[in-house]
Amino acid sequence: MGHRTTDLSRSQIITYAKRRGVSEAQVDRWRKFGLLPTPNLVSLGRGRGRGALYPAETRAQLDALLRARARDKRLAAVAWFMWCEGHPVTGAVKKTLLEWLRDLEKRYWDMLDEFEEERPGNFIDESGVARMPGGLGKIRRRVGKQNLSTVLRMWAEVTVGEFGKRTDFTAEDMQLFARGIMPKSRTYEGVENLFEIASKVFSLPFTIDCLDKCTNPRLEQLRDEVQVIFRTILRLVGDHGDRLLPRFFFLVWLYVREVNPVTNAYVTQLLAKPPVERLSDVQRRAVQEIGQKISGEAGARADA
């Protein structure tokens, strides 16, 4: 098999890496993780054996890797940063996303098991009195300390796809949950049927299965789509900084495009329109108001 004249030998890559303070062993570790290309083995000529040749883009990819490590040395974070820049590390990103989601699923299962086994100090039982993160603290104030454990059990069961299989929740419990997460709604009637649906199509097992079946080219297409949307939203709210696409934002887009045929059909039609037609004046104002609110809250936290 032939090779391009721009391909680089292993010694060239190692020399390039060492000039940047990277050892040969580190190059091999990053390659095995999927952050650097796997070299092609080529014949060096009759009687001379075979040699490894790296694509010319390997040097640029190594530079991107080092930029990413300057921000966060965790390999999963490095892979995400490089992927958002468009580098071919989709396999590593898919692997780390699946590991993250499976670990998250396990933590929710552990939380439910510890509660059902009545282990002392379990998170659900302690939620009424223990110090809670900001978001849960607000929900507790809305539903009352004595009711937060019910809300957390419901959330955990929906998340692992087991809603109603472990606990018989009442209509009042479901309305309580809705009041906790939708404080501005005027009515919470009719939400009962939504929980079983959410447990099927929004659960972590369902998301994991969808991601696992998605091909690398399709994941890259979804990334490119959602990055355009994310950056457009940032510009609309006046944020011109270099923000990285959040993983959760991408996973929501994965659901919109790969799981729900209704939302996928709508988005496909929307993306076919010229960019200027995709957002109405009302939508632009709404997005700008959200951005101003976020900026205001961030400023308030910084002043506190």
User: In percent, how much of the chain has pLDDT > 70?
Assistant: 79
Q: In the prediction, which pLDDT does 232 show? A: 80
Please give the helix or strand (H or E) that residue 51 lies within, else none. Answer: strand 50-54
Task: Please indicate, yes or no, if residue 66 is contained in any of the structural domains.
Answer: yes
C-alpha distance from residue 272 to each of 229, 232, 262, 265, 268 (Å): 14, 16, 16, 11, 6
- Is there a single domain that holds both residue 110 and residue 188? yes
Domain end residue (candidates: 207, 233, 263): 207
In-domain check, residue 198: yes
CATH code for the domain in which residue 14 is found: 1.10.1660
Query: What pLDDT does residue 132 have?
Result: 82
Last residue of a domain, one of 167, 186, 207: 207
Quick one: 202 and 242 in the same domain?
no
The residue that leads in pLDDT, 8 or 200, is: 8
Is 133 a member of any domain?
A: yes
Mean pLDDT (whole number) for 89-97: 96
* Residues 233, 168 within the same domain: no
Contact 8, 56 (CB under 8 A): yes
Q: 187 lies in a domain?
A: yes
- In the chain, the number of structural domains is 3
Could you say which of 186, 207, 228 is where a domain stops? 207
Instruction: Flag whether 2 is in a domain.
Output: no
Are residues 226 and 155 part of one domain?
no
Query: Could you read off the pLDDT of 140-196 as tens digits, one per residue?
Result: 988 899 999 999 999 999 899 888 787 788 888 888 888 887 766 655 566 666 777
Cβ–Cβ under 8 Å, residues 195 and 154? yes
Q: Is the pTM of this model over 0.75?
A: yes
Q: Dihedral sign, CA of 251, 257, 261, 262? A: positive
With a pLDDT cut of 90, the percent of the chain lying above it is 40
Please check whether residue 3 lies inside any domain of the structure. no
pLDDT at residue 23 tops 80: yes
pLDDT band at 298 (very low <50, low <70, confident <90, very high): very low
Which SS3 state, helix, strand or coil, does residue 250 take?
A: helix
Indicate whether 176 and 245 sit together in one domain.
Answer: no
Residue 302 lies in a domain: no
State the average pLDDT for the chain: 82
Question: Would 81 be classed as within a structural domain?
Answer: yes
- By residue range, what is the domain housing residue 115? 98-207
Position 1 scores a pLDDT of: 45
Instruction: Write out pLDDT tens, residues 37-89.
Output: 988 876 555 655 666 789 989 999 999 999 999 999 999 999 999 999 999 99
pLDDT of residue 200: 74
Do residues 171 and 195 both lie within one domain? yes
